[in-house]
Amino acid sequence: MGARTATVFRGEDVPAKERFDCWRELIGRTRDSEMTSAHADHFEAEMRRLELGPVTLLRSSFPPSRFRRTAAMVRRSDPGVYHLTLVLDGGLSLARDDREPTAVFGAGELYVLDSSQPYDVRGLGVRTAGRGPRRVEAVGVDFPVSALPLPPHRLHDLMGRGFSGREGTCALLTDFIVGLDRQAALLGPTETPRLGTVLVDLVAAWLARELDAEAEVPDDARQRALVENVRTYIRRNLHDPELTPAVIAAAHHVSLSYLHRLFTQHSQGETVAAWIRGRRLDQARRDLADPALRTVPVHALAARCGIPRPSDFSRAFRAAYGLSPSEHRRRALCEPAHG
């Protein structure tokens, strides 16, 4: 088996009587629990499973279901895995034991569970236009406890707590998870293990921030997380022509020289400025090939990508792709597709 394995499950591709068992088997590879659903006989679900080295990403859409990991199951087998879940739509309720109130997590929230502890999770679906029964949309990330550079006893009070995926370090982690899911079909076997490492680094950075224990995260993990945070910041601000390495360094509270050294070290020698330029040109290239944007002037698309001077854009585009922006647009929009 290669470094990357993507498994796509669509309910309509499987006989109705086999759908729930097939979906349960895929989930159970890393999330061992008793799974039940009132919709088991007509289970309309979808799943994508992506292997990132020792990290597994699960993108799922399913009707209301229950996932119960009992104390007996923990005693029988504990794989030593953390389960992070990001709710995209609908909701999930969590009960860990009789002493704690049931927690409910909605869209945009995430939580972490430990396979060494019992839990009872229930999907609380919402109705989606044209999709029939209520559904839950979520992305799960499963990775070995040993991969996280924080001792399990330090994380005990964070397990099962809900966190907003729209704030602070957690927002950066959420963006990375969603981006990985969107790019799943394009990822190659050589890059997926690295992305799994970066994902765990971002989880570690987030949890360490919650514990006020950043110093406990190894330097290399903190550095990789910082570089990924810088990349996310750049993507969010490509439209700003004033986006410079100095601005980025100030936003991340590091010196300009440290930013240059760290980014180049973790980007195969590519500088911050070159990475910004590459992302801007790539975004412009995709916009120029978008039929929905065919009436937008070339210079306006370039300005939206943070390159306000047409002459600078034309020169950089030709140097990168070997033809002018107008020629690229004409070829992309006029030539018949082959495939």
pLDDT tens, position by position, 238-270: 999 999 999 999 988 899 999 999 999 988 899
Same domain, 120 and 35: yes
Output the domain CATH number for residue 42. Answer: 2.60.120.10
184 domain residue, yes or no: yes
Burial of residue 295 (CB within 10 Å: 0-12, 13-18, 19+) is: exposed
- Rounded CA-CA distance 203/174 in Å is 10
Number of domains in the chain: 2
| Residues with Cβ within 8 Å of residue 322, at least 6 apart in sequence | none
Same domain, 143 and 244: no
Output the domain CATH number for residue 277. Answer: 1.10.10.60
Q: Please, which pLDDT band fits residue 98 given cuts at 50, 70 and 90?
A: low
Q: What is the mean pLDDT of the chain?
A: 88
181 domain residue, yes or no: yes
Q: Which residue has the higher pLDDT, 314 or 214?
A: 314
Which residue range(s) make up the domain with 195? Answer: 6-213
List Cα–Cα distances, 259 to 43, 126, 198, 218, 280, in angstroms.
50, 44, 18, 18, 20
Q: Are 153 and 99 in contact (CB under 8 A)?
A: no
State the pairing for strand pair 119-124/46-52.
Answer: unpaired
247 domain residue, yes or no: yes
Q: Coil, strand, or helix at residue 9? A: strand
| Residues with Cβ within 8 Å of residue 270, at least 6 apart in sequence | 263, 264, 278
Q: Please, which pLDDT band fits residue 132 given cuts at 50, 70 and 90?
A: low
> What does the pLDDT read at residue 338?
46
**Is the model's pLDDT at 327 over the cut of 90?**
yes
> What does the pLDDT read at residue 323?
94
Q: Which residue has the higher pLDDT, 179 or 74?
A: 74
Query: What does the pLDDT look like over 34-47, one tens digit per residue?
Result: 999 998 888 888 99
Lowest mean pLDDT among 92-101, 255-264, 307-316: 92-101
Q: Which residue has the higher pLDDT, 85 or 219?
A: 85
* Residue with tokens 């989606």, as numbered in its chain: 128
Same domain, 277 and 161: no
Query: What does the pLDDT look like over 136-156, one tens digit per residue?
Result: 999 999 999 999 988 899 999
Same domain, 194 and 276: no
Same domain, 208 and 274: no
Closest to 97 measured CA to CA, from 140, 68, 65: 68
Same domain, 265 and 117: no
222 domain residue, yes or no: no
201 domain residue, yes or no: yes
Name the percent of the chain lying above pLDDT 90. 58
231 domain residue, yes or no: no
> What does the pLDDT read at residue 337?
47
129 domain residue, yes or no: yes
Same domain, 199 and 243: no
List Cα–Cα distances, 321 to 89, 106, 286, 325, 328, in angstroms.
39, 44, 12, 9, 9
Q: Please say which residue of 213, 228, 250 terminates a domain.
A: 213
Query: What does the pLDDT look like over 152-170, one tens digit per residue?
Result: 999 999 999 999 998 888 8
Q: Please, which pLDDT band fits residue 83 given cuts at 50, 70 and 90?
A: very high
On whether the pTM is more than 0.85, the answer is no
**Is the model's pLDDT at 3 over the cut of 50?**
no
221 domain residue, yes or no: no
Same domain, 189 and 335: no
Same domain, 53 and 105: yes
**Is the model's pLDDT at 1 over the cut of 50?**
no
> What does the pLDDT read at residue 192?
83
Same domain, 186 and 291: no
Same domain, 109 and 167: yes
Q: Please, which pLDDT band fits residue 60 given cuts at 50, 70 and 90?
A: very high
Q: Which residue has the higher pLDDT, 94 or 6?
A: 94
**Is the model's pLDDT at 234 over the cut of 70?**
yes
Same domain, 14 and 106: yes
